[in-house]
Amino acid sequence: MAKTPTPRSGARAKATAASADHNRVRPDVPTDYVASKEELLEFYRQMVLIRRFEEKAGQLYGLGLIGGFCHLYIGQEAVAVGIQSALEPGKDSVITGYRDHGHMLAYGIDPNVIMAELTGREAGISRGKGGSMHMFSVEHKFFGGHGIVGAQVSLGAGLAFSHKYRGDGGVCVAYFGDGAANQGQVYESFNMAELWKLPIIFVIENNQYAMGTSVNRSSAEDQLYRRGESFRIPGIQVNGMDVLAVRGATEEALKWVKAGNGPILLEMKTYRYRGHSMSDPAKYRSREEVQAMREKSDPIEGVKKHLLAAEVGEDEMKAIDQEIRKIVNASADFAETSPEPDLAELYTDVLVEQY
């Protein structure tokens, strides 16, 4: 029997499935993940790593050491950490847009090679030729890093098709923004993914703005978890500022997809503290709005409360903070001192063919 999920108090998540004639079981309303003390510490460590790394990237950009675009993930840390921690690196595949440093760090990719990519060095993960927006790690099945808004969603459907075709048991997670959620190809991909029951989790990182345009100003249906309804793709709305809610919803989504039900959509309600990119004058929102979000919903402060409840002392957290500072400083030193790619690299990884 199909079950009508009703959000439970404290669950902060809504699940929906399209009309009752679907004759299929719906995903359960997810509950917050119950993390062990070790897991909580790891969530804290990873979120602090992303935050400090991004702050450092912002500084290096200001010093002119990073060229091109640079989009920071500060404020959204709980999304990548909560989701990536539930995946199997090397088996599940991940694809995202240009705001991609946090996802890579949450997947355990070496901060040195990410920072070196930002400064355009040979040791960078894309050999210094991709920069902030175009980072790849085939070894980790991390397929970028894409600058064309929404394009990664269709590529993600392709990755999910490959999991199904090969029968390798992997799931694709395709992340995209609230702005990307209005792109046409997203819906073509939804249709095919559901028709072919592809193993894919579509994750909308609703940080409430697409450059300077708020989601309410640009979206006729601003409850983005409902965007899959006409394709019979169930959606869950999640507090993306709470790593335990994110992880809990991801567990539910993985269960749904791995049972062969096809795609599911997670809307992560989150917020970016910094501008869209490094060159954003941020005239579309007030300082007070950003400040209120930081004070009330900061994901790192949130996990700290859980750690204190688990009797982890402030000094243990401070020790982690110091360890992270060292890692991030070392990555900046590495990125500043390692050599630039050889000129001959201009001619590698270039597709030249006649058709």
Ligand X SMILES: Cc1ncc(C[n+]2csc(CCOP(=O)(O)OP(=O)(O)O)c2C)c(N)n1
Q: Which residues bind ligand X (CB under 6 A)?
A: 99, 147-149, 177-180, 207, 209-211, 276
The phi-psi region of residue 341 (left if phi > 0; otherwise alpha if psi is between -120 and 50; otherwise beta) is beta
147 binds, among ligand X, Mg ion, none (CB under 5 to 8 A by kind): ligand X
Nearer of residues 125 and 133 to ligand X, judged by Cβ: 133
Phi, psi (5° rounding) for residue 304? Answer: -60, -40
Of 61-69, 94-102, 134-142, 172-180, the window that binds Mg ion (rule: CB under 5 A) is 172-180
DSSP 130: S
Instruction: From the list Mg ion, ligand X, none, pick the one residue 144 interacts with, judged by a Cβ distance below 5 to 8 Å according to partner type.
Output: none
Q: Which two tokens stand for residue 91?
A: 């088996």
Q: Which is nearer to Mg ion, 43 or 271 (CB)?
A: 271
Whether 28 contacts 251, CB under 8 Å = no
Which among 85, 47, 28 is positioned nearest to 241, based on CA atoms?
A: 47
Q: Determine, following the binding rule CB under 5 A, whether residue 178 of this chain makes contact with Mg ion.
A: yes
Instruction: In angstroms, give the least distance from the CB of 306 to ligand X.
Output: 27
Nearer to ligand X, 75 or 128 (CB): 75
Q: Which is nearer to ligand X, 168 or 221 (CB)?
A: 221
DSSP 257: I
Map the footprint of Mg ion across residues 188-217, applying CB under 5 A: 207, 210
User: Nearest CA to 343 among 137, 114, 127?
Assistant: 127
Least distance to ligand X, CB of residue 131, Å:
14
CA distances from 214 to 77, 220, 277, 280 (A): 20, 12, 15, 14
Closest approach, Cβ 178 to ligand X, in A, equals: 4
The residues that touch Mg ion, with contacts defined as CB under 5 A, are 177-178, 207, 210
